[in-house]
Structure 1
Amino acid sequence: MQVRALLASGVFVIASTLFAACAIIDTDDPRPVAECVVCRFNGDLGCVRVRIDETTPFADYKGQRYYFCCEDCRDAFIAGPEKYLRPAGEGR
């Protein structure tokens, strides 16, 4: 039982740290904010909000520009954009 509680605590600490690292958005930052559609689809709410600058990964699809939190999310989107652009509630 103690091992299970220790493992649960460890998972919580790691998840909290990762979430906090992505979730930090400086409200005084003048750069515009976009939504990473891949993170939204995956339920990674800590990385959904992305600050846009010249280094922000992006992809253009059907005349619309999409920004991403990282290159991996951009690559996943490019491989199957329709998957990430489904209306809310349409399932995975």
Structure 2
Amino acid sequence: MSEIIDLDAMLAKIHLQPSDLDGQKYASMVEHLSRHHLPTWEMGKMAAAARVKEVVITHIVPTDPSPVQAENLRQGIMPHFKGTITIAHDLNKF
């Protein structure tokens, strides 16, 4: 579908990294991430509207989510979509 994001998890990850981001650069990055990446609830609504049976999430920010992060992505989609949700990993085949 598109790039999906757990914005809170991504921003938390950014805060853990040493950075030279000033307030303006940080605000621009937050705007980019929120404008050009789908939140999980929106992915769920789109999948439900399309009446698909399965959603395969292939382009995730942050990349390579931990099992906890993957479950958080599922939990964000599930209120709106009742089908199968698969979190893909590099080199998976479908």
User: Do the structures match in fold with TM over 0.5?
Assistant: no
Please classify the TM superposition score into its range, dividing by the shorter chain length: 0.3 to 0.5
Greater gyration radius: 1
Q: Give me the TM-score of the superposition, normalised by structure 1.
A: 0.32
